[in-house]
Amino acid sequence: MTKGQQFAKTMRSNLGIGARTRRFRKGVDLHAEILDCIRNATYYPGYYTGERAELFQAAFGAQVSYTKHIAGYRADAAVIAHINALSPWQFCTLIGEMVDAGISNVGDGERFFAQLRTELYAQAA
């Protein structure tokens, strides 16, 4: 099991996300909650302990990249729409894929989203 897969599994367990969980639960955006968990693990040492803290901190580059390119609308509109349409389960998988891809900064994330754009347009053709 890769580090990204472990991240996705742990995050789903942490927030109680199932395969059919909707993005908004009682008015709370689970995409934002996932990103908040990553941010809390990085900014507040001791917020999570052990393996969970390590996995969440490993996803910090992906979280920063998401904030810059997707939430900041710098990526292609098709990529933004695709990511916003993901379920929380799929969003955890996406962040896990970013961890496995070694995203550690915004530039790496930009290349990841450009590759995702290429894949989306190839599927549409």
**pLDDT tens, 91-121?**
999 999 999 999 999 999 999 999 999 999 9
Question: Which domain range does residue 18 map to?
Answer: 3-124
**How does residue 124 score in pLDDT terms, banded at 50, 70 and 90?**
confident
Nearest Cα to Cα of residue 29 among 116, 88, 93, 89 = 88
β-strand pairing of 24-25 with 28-29: antiparallel
- Residue 125 has a pLDDT of 78
- Phi-psi group of 27: left, alpha or beta (phi > 0 → left; psi -120 to 50 → alpha; rest → beta): left
Q: Is the pTM of this model over 0.85?
A: yes
Percent of the chain with pLDDT over 70: 100
The domain tally of the chain equals: 1
